[in-house]
Amino acid sequence: MLLAIDVGNTNIVVGGYRGAERVVTGRFEANRSATPESLWEDIVPLLSSSGIPHTEITEVAIASVVPPLEAALQQCCEQFLALSPFFVRSEIECGIRLHYSPPASLGVDRLCNVVGCIEKYGAPAIVIDFGTATKLEAIAENGDYLGGVILPGIGISVQALLARASRLFEIEWRIPEHVIGQSSVEAMQSGFVFGFAGQAEALIQRFREEIGCRAQVVATGGLAPQIVPACPSIEILAPWLTLDGLRSLYYRQKT
């Protein structure tokens, strides 16, 4: 079984694959001071909850945008699995023509999303990842990667607002019945949900104009479930898209 690990700035997302079948999924907080032991303590329950003994793992692939965690992950795999993990990098051969300069500067998580989208849903497409940063990727009809957009993510945007506005406070994420909020809670819910949804909708329409066709839209990322219901242009919610792309990139290197 392949253990795929997507290391983001906010969360570490884990998937287990038997061939093309995803049999384990889960996420936990990305603690930059994590030790090999603490990482293992977070991974084991994800395997156990799916009835997977860790002895079944024979391969490990990692996509990381957090270099400080890579040494601890390497040691974790070597110490508890007796395996040396393979770190997938953006400069590897991915089978896609990248219109990005330099290609190696494309975040590996973004590359995984593009590869996963093309493999599962085809092209043309727009991938939007609601993570620590919100990222949109444009894929042409011929499968070329055209580039994308990076902007502050929903979580850090909300945190920045709450940190600078002393009269505002944490609220429950849900889609309000009305855009015009009649209380502070409703006003914030409307701003957070419809505001970020509207931002995504505007970018999607601009992407479609530049791609030159009505590209399908695939959403992923930890905050996607909260925003997708308010985004009519998003057609597919794929929570584990980055892991699927990581799996594909890993096996491409083995052939």
Active site residues: 109
CB–CB of 107/65 below 8 Å? yes
Query: What number of other Cβ atoms are within 10 A of residue 150's Cβ?
Result: 12
Q: Which of 47, 52, 56, 53 is nearest to 28 (CA)?
A: 47
Residue tagged 């793992």 (tokens): 57
Q: List, in sequence order, every residue forming a beta bridge with 2; answer none if it has no partner.
A: 17, 59
DSSP for 6-52?
A: EE-SSEEEEEEEETTEEEEEEEEE--TT--HHHHHHHHHHHHHHTT-
3-state secondary structure of 101: coil
- How far apart CA 251 and CA 255 sit, in angstroms, is 7
Q: Which of 65, 73, 69 is nearest to 89 (CA)?
A: 65
